[in-house]
Amino acid sequence: MKCTAIILAGSRGTPDALCIAHHVGHKALIPIAGQSMLVRVVEALLLCDHVGDILIAIERHEPVLGLPALGPYIDAGRVRLISAAASPSKTVLAAIHAAQNDWPLLVTTADHPLLRSEMIDYLFAHAPSHADAVAAVVEEAVIRAAYPETVRTYMRFRDSAVSGANLFLLLGPDAGKAVAFWRYVEANRKRPWRLMMTLGIATIFRFVTGRLDLAQALEQLGRHCGARLGVVRLPFAEGAIDVDKPGDLALVTRIIEGRGI
């Protein structure tokens, strides 16, 4: 099954400390062991048999067009550039249109330089057959066993604590409903009470008291947005390590240089 891959490379509109420190105009262009993060993500996608076309969503196309490693793929049409919208969810909706609603779609981010084709293969192999949209996550135990020094954000449920892997699989038209709900979450991020109320008092109470498991949370969210949601627990600790802070960049650099990749 071939999919169109979408790389979210939009910036937040404010000066990024990592960009300033590394003298680049965009976070995706920060070099790690001689290769930019964006190029590393594209190369991982190109190595995956599940991936066909690749869309890079970014505000300004010129910096990407100036990357020699991507030139041949852009010229051949394998990699295309589209404009990033005002938020990640709006960008994904625009990318769905750019891909002409050709399902499935794979979504990842430009600050995920540890992405490997094996992670994508695993996501496809284990995605629930009934789901419209699937998110890859990594359990806390897997991350701490491999990289106890890294600080990640975890969602804690009764059955597990997980961290997101910046990797999503959209399997059909109803997945657009999940993206639309994501847009609602973004629009109300400064009004958490409104977001909590969409889940219902009972669900909120079970979560804060540690009695809500992940499957129940997905079912409740799916019922609200009108799409069937699923998760895949990746066995790769690196899947949850993106680059947001200097400590992340130092860890990712150490991993990449240690592997000689």
Which domains, and CATH codes, for the chain? 3-259 (3.90.550.10)
CA distances from 21 to 17, 30, 65, 104, 232 (A): 6, 10, 23, 38, 35
Q: In the numeric block, which tokens belong to residue 98?
A: 């750019």
Radius of gyration (Cα) for the chain, nearest Å?
18
**Residue-wise pLDDT tens for the chain (261 aa)?**
689 999 999 986 666 889 999 999 899 999 999 999 999 999 999 999 999 999 999 999 999 999 999 999 999 999 999 999 988 899 999 999 888 878 999 999 999 999 999 999 999 999 999 999 999 999 999 999 999 999 998 988 888 899 999 999 999 999 989 998 877 766 655 555 565 566 666 666 666 667 778 888 888 888 888 999 999 999 999 999 999 999 999 999 999 998 865
pTM above 0.75, yes or no: yes
Among residues 148, 109, 113, the alpha carbon closest in space to that of 259 is found at 113
Give the number of other CB atoms < 10 A from CB of residue 111: 22
Q: From CA 131, how far away is CA 174, in angstroms rounded?
A: 9
